[in-house]
C-alpha cells in the first residue's frame, strides 16, 4: 500500500512538470538538471527512490559536486550539491539498489544531465572624470569571477553612455585604459570582459565611464617678440609683421600667437611715442612705436616770373636773374628765386631753345631766343712762347714761334699772327713785359734785356777775322745803329766795368729764371760775343 502511494506521488509531480524529480521504479529515468554557473553553489534534487545504496554507475559528476541522499518517511531523496568549477556539459547515472520488506530487490537508475557555464565576471569601473585637453587620465576596471576562468578585456569609446556599439580601441586589451583627450568634450568608455573556462566563454559589458575634457582657459597675453618695424611717419598704417604674442593658459601652458589678433590704432596720426593695443581671445597687451612728422612732399613746379633776359646770341651763358618758381607741396606752396639749376648753361643752338629748370626732384621749363653772332674775342693768353727770349738793349722784339690762345664767344683757337706788341725796341736793361694785343684783348710776356757788348778797339777792327761782305751782299737794315761810341780815358774803363757787372748780374738772373732753354740761348749769345772779340 505504501509503495503504491509513492508511485502515485511521483506521477503527480511529473504531471506538474517539476524538473529534477523522477519516480523511482525498476526502469531508468532521465533527469535534466538544466544549467548552472561555474563557481556558483548548486543544490539540485535528482529524484526519490526506495531507500537503498546509491552510487554513480556511469559518467562523472561536475568537479566540486557530490551526491547527497536523505532518507525520509516517504523514501530516499537524492541531491546534487556543491560548487562546480569547470564549465562543461555533464551526464551521469545514479543507480540506487534497494531491498523491500518482502525481501525483493529493486534497482532504480536516474540518468542526469547538467550544463555548467563559465561564471559571469563581476565588474566595477572608475567613476566619471574631468580633465584638461591634452591631459592624460587612467580608467580602471576591476573584474572578478567565481570560477577558475581566464579573463580578457576590450575597450570601446562612444558618444553616448548607453551606446554599446561604440568604436573599438585597437590594442586596448588590459584592465586599465589611459585617455588623453585632444579636444574639448565628453566621451564614454566601456569595456567588454570575456571569461573563458574550459573553452567556453561568456562576455559581460561594463558600465560606461565618462571622460570630460575642457580646454584650458587663456588667462594672460604678453609680447613675445616686437614687430620688425616700430618707427613710422605720421599718416602711416601700422605694420605688425614679425609680431609674436605669448598666450598663457590656466594649466600653466603657453602658446605662441603670430596671427589672428587685432591692433589699435590701425592708422598713426599722432606724432611722438604712441601705444599700440593688441587684442587676442579677449585678452590685451600693448607695445610702443615712434611716430615722426612726415616730411613735406614736393608735388609740382611752375614758373611764376620769367628771367629778365630771354634773348641771346649763340655761345652766350644763360642768365637766370629774375626767374621765380612756385613749388606746390603736400602742405601748401611757396615761391623760390634761388636753389634751382638750369640746363643748358651755355646756349649753343640757334633758334628757340627750351631751358629745363630743376628744383629738388621737380622740373619745369621756359624758352629763350638764340641768335647767331659774329665772333668776338673775350680773352687772350700765351699758348707757346717765342723762340727768342733773351735780348740786349737796342734789340727789337722777335715774335718767331709765339702762339696765342684766343678765347672767343665761339670757343678757343690758337693764332700765330695778327697780333701787335709793345715795346718794339728794348732800351733798358732788366726784366721787361712785352704787351701782346689781339683784337683789343691783351696779355703779357716777360723777357730779360741785357746790356750791349763793348765796342771793339781800332786795333781789333783793323784785322777782321772774317771776310767783309761786298756792298752788293750787304742788305740795308731798318734797325737804327745801336753801337756804343768810343770813349777815352778813365771814363771808358768805368763804363766797361759797369757794363760787365750789369751783364754778369743779368746773366745769373737769366740762368735762374729760364733754366735749360734760356741757358742754351745764353751760351749761343756768349759764343757770338767771344767770336766778335
Cα–Cα separations (whole angstroms), residue 296 to 268, 330, 332, 335, 357: 17, 6, 9, 15, 20
Task: Tell me the pLDDT tens digit for each residue of 174-185.
Answer: 999 999 999 999
**Which of the four pLDDT bands, split at 50, 70 and 90, describes residue 134?**
confident
Strands 341-343 and 351-359: antiparallel
Structural domain includes residue 409? no
For residues 217 and 222, give the distance between their C-alpha atoms in angstroms, rounded to a whole number. 15
Residues of the chain above pLDDT 70, percent: 83
Instruction: Please report the pLDDT score of residue 490 as a whole number.
Output: 57
Are the beta carbons of 379 and 411 closer than 8 angstroms?
no
Range of the domain at 172: 122-214
- Same domain for 138 and 106, yes or no, is no
Residue whose C-alpha cell reads 628771367 in the numeric block: 307
Query: Residue 54 CB: number of other CB atoms within 10 A?
Result: 20
pTM confidence score: 0.42
CATH number of the domain at 163, please: 2.60.40.10
Give the DSSP letter of residue 425: B
- Same domain for 109 and 237, yes or no, is no
Instruction: Please report the pLDDT score of residue 262 as a whole number.
Output: 95
Instruction: Please report the pLDDT score of residue 39 as a whole number.
Output: 92
Task: Tell me the pLDDT tens digit for each residue of 79-132.
Answer: 999 999 999 999 999 999 988 777 788 899 999 999 999 999 999 999 999 998
Structural domain includes residue 407? no
- Same domain for 271 and 315, yes or no, is no
SS3 string, 277-291, reads EEEECCEEEEEEEEE
- Same domain for 13 and 136, yes or no, is no
Structural domain includes residue 378? no
Structural domain includes residue 461? no
Average pLDDT, the chain: 84
Instruction: Please report the pLDDT score of residue 295 as a whole number.
Output: 83
Lowest-pLDDT range of 176-180, 381-385, 489-493: 489-493
pLDDT at 409 over 90: no
Q: What domain count does the chain have?
A: 5
Query: Higher confidence at residue 5 or residue 139?
Result: 139
Q: What is the dihedral of CA 465, 466, 469, 475, to 10 degrees?
A: -100
Structural domain includes residue 377? no
**Which of the four pLDDT bands, split at 50, 70 and 90, describes residue 26?**
low
- Same domain for 20 and 113, yes or no, is yes
Task: Tell me the pLDDT tens digit for each residue of 194-226.
Answer: 999 999 999 999 999 999 999 888 899 999 999
Segment 472-477 shows an average pLDDT of 42
Instruction: Please report the pLDDT score of residue 17 as a whole number.
Output: 38
- Same domain for 69 and 139, yes or no, is no
- Same domain for 392 and 524, yes or no, is yes
Sort 133 into a burial class: Cβ within 10 Å, 0-12 / 13-18 / 19+.
Answer: middle
Instruction: Please report the pLDDT score of residue 465 as a whole number.
Output: 47
Instruction: Please report the pLDDT score of residue 511 as a whole number.
Output: 56
Instruction: Please report the pLDDT score of residue 517 as a whole number.
Output: 61
Instruction: Please report the pLDDT score of residue 516 as a whole number.
Output: 58
Domain termination residue (choose one: 117, 142, 158): 117
- Same domain for 525 and 433, yes or no, is yes
Instruction: Please report the pLDDT score of residue 530 as a whole number.
Output: 67
Query: By C-alpha distance, which of 249, 261, 266 is closest to 223?
Result: 261
Record the cell numbers describing residue 310, joined without a space: 630771354
As beta bridge partners, residue 212 has 130, 186
Query: By C-alpha distance, which of 151, 154, 153, 155 is closest to 195?
Result: 151
Residue whose C-alpha cell reads 697780333 in the numeric block: 419
- Same domain for 243 and 360, yes or no, is no
**Which of the four pLDDT bands, split at 50, 70 and 90, describes residue 482?**
very low
Structural domain includes residue 410? no
Task: Tell me the pLDDT tens digit for each residue of 419-437.
Answer: 999 999 999 999 999 999 9
Q: Tell me if residue 209 falls in helix, strand or coil.
A: strand
Task: Tell me the pLDDT tens digit for each residue of 63-81.
Answer: 999 999 999 988 999 999 9
pLDDT at 531 over 90: no
CATH number of the domain at 54, please: 2.60.40
Segment 222-235 shows an average pLDDT of 93
Instruction: Please report the pLDDT score of residue 297 as a whole number.
Output: 84
- Same domain for 55 and 6, yes or no, is yes
Domain termination residue (choose one: 214, 248, 269): 214
Segment 16-44 shows an average pLDDT of 73
CATH number of the domain at 341, please: 2.60.40.3630
Task: Tell me the pLDDT tens digit for each residue of 285-338.
Answer: 999 999 998 888 889 999 999 999 999 988 889 999 999 999 999 888 999 999
261-270 CB contacts, 8 Å cutoff, 24+ apart: 263/238, 265/238, 266/237, 266/238, 267/235, 267/236, 267/237, 267/238, 268/232, 268/234, 268/235, 268/236, 268/237, 268/238, 269/234, 269/235, 270/234
Domain termination residue (choose one: 232, 258, 292): 292
Instruction: Please report the pLDDT score of residue 85 as a whole number.
Output: 92
Structural domain includes residue 380? no
**Which of the four pLDDT bands, split at 50, 70 and 90, describes residue 16?**
very low
Cα–Cα separations (whole angstroms), residue 123 to 18, 87, 211, 245, 399: 34, 20, 19, 50, 138
- Same domain for 151 and 271, yes or no, is no
- Same domain for 439 and 307, yes or no, is no
pLDDT at 13 over 90: no
Instruction: Please report the pLDDT score of residue 494 as a whole number.
Output: 76
Amino acid at each position: 500500500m505504501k509503495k503504491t502511494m509513492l508511485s502515485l506521488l511521483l506521477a503527480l509531480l511529473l504531471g506538474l512538470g517539476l524538473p529534477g524529480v523522477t519516480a523511482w521504479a525498476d526502469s531508468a529515468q532521465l533527469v535534466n538538471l538544466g544549467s548552472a554557473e561555474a563557481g556558483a553553489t548548486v543544490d539540485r534534487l535528482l529524484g526519490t527512490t526506495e531507500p537503498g545504496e546509491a552510487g554513480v554507475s556511469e559518467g562523472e559528476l561536475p568537479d566540486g559536486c557530490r551526491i547527497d541522499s536523505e532518507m525520509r518517511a516517504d523514501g530516499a531523496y537524492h541531491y546534487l550539491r556543491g560548487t562546480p568549477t569547470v564549465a562543461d556539459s555533464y551526464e551521469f547515472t545514479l543507480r540506487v539498489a534497494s531491498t523491500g520488506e518482502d525481501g525483493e530487490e529493486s534497482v532504480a537508475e536516474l540518468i542526469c544531465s547538467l550544463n555548467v557555464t563559465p561564471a559571469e565576471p563581476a565588474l566595477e569601473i572608475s567613476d566619471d572624470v574631468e580633465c584638461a585637453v591634452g591631459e592624460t587620465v587612467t580608467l580602471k576596471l576591476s573584474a572578478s569571477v567565481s570560477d577558475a576562468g581566464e579573463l580578457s578585456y576590450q575597450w570601446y569609446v562612444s558618444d553616448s553612455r548607453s551606446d554599446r556599439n561604440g568604436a573599438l580601441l585597437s590594442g586596448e586589451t588590459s584592465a586599465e585604459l589611459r585617455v588623453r583627450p585632444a579636444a574639448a568634450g565628453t566621451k564614454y568608455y566601456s569595456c567588454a570582459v570575456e571569461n573563458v573556462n574550459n573553452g567556453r566563454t561568456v562576455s559581460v559589458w561594463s558600465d560606461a565611464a565618462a571622460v570630460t575634457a575642457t580646454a584650458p582657459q587663456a588667462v594672460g597675453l604678453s609680447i613675445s617678440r616686437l614687430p620688425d618695424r616700430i618707427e613710422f611717419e605720421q599718416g602711416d598704417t601700422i605694420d605688425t609683421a614679425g609680431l609674436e604674442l605669448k598666450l598663457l593658459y590656466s594649466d600653466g601652458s603657453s602658446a605662441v600667437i603670430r596671427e589672428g589678433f587685432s591692433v589699435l590704432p590701425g592708422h598713426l596720426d599722432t606724432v611722438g611715442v604712441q601705444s599700440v593695443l593688441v587684442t587676442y581671445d579677449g585678452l590685451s597687451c600693448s607695445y610702443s612705436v615712434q611716430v615722426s612728422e612726415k616730411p613735406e612732399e614736393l608735388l609740382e613746379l611752375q614758373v611764376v616770373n620769367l628771367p629778365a633776359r630771354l634773348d641771346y646770341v649763340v655761345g652766350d651763358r644763360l642768365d637766370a636773374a629774375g626767374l621765380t618758381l612756385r613749388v606746390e607741396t603736400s602742405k601748401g606752396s611757396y615761391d623760390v628765386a634761388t636753389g634751382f639749376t638750369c640746363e643748358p648753361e651755355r646756349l649753343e643752338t640757334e633758334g628757340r631753345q627750351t631751358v629745363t629748370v630743376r628744383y629738388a626732384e621737380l622740373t619745369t621749363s621756359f624758352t629763350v631766343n638764340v641768335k647767331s653772332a659774329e665772333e668776338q674775342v673775350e680773352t687772350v693768353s700765351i699758348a707757346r712762347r717765342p723762340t727768342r727770349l733773351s735780348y740786349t738793349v737796342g734789340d727789337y722784339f722777335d715774335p718767331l714761334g709765339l702762339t696765342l690762345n684766343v678765347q672767343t664767344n665761339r670757343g678757343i683757337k690758337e693764332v700765330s699772327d695778327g697780333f701787335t706788341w709793345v715795346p718794339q725796341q728794348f732800351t733798358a736793361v732788366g726784366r721787361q713785359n712785352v704787351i701782346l694785343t689781339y683784337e683789343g684783348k691783351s696779355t703779357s710776356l716777360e723777357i730779360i734785356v741785357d746790356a750791349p757788348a763793348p765796342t771793339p778797339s781800332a786795333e781789333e777792327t783793323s784785322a777782321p777775322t772774317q771776310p767783309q761782305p761786298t756792298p752788293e751782299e750787304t742788305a740795308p737794315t731798318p734797325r737804327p745803329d745801336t753801337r756804343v761810341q768810343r770813349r777815352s780815358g778813365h771814363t771808358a774803363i768805368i763804363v766797361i766795368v759797369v757794363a760787365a757787372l750789369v751783364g754778369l748780374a743779368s746773366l745769373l738772373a737769366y740762368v735762374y729764371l729760364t733754366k735749360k732753354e734760356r741757358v742754351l740761348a745764353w751760351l749761343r749769345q756768349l759764343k757770338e760775343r767771344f767770336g766778335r772779340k
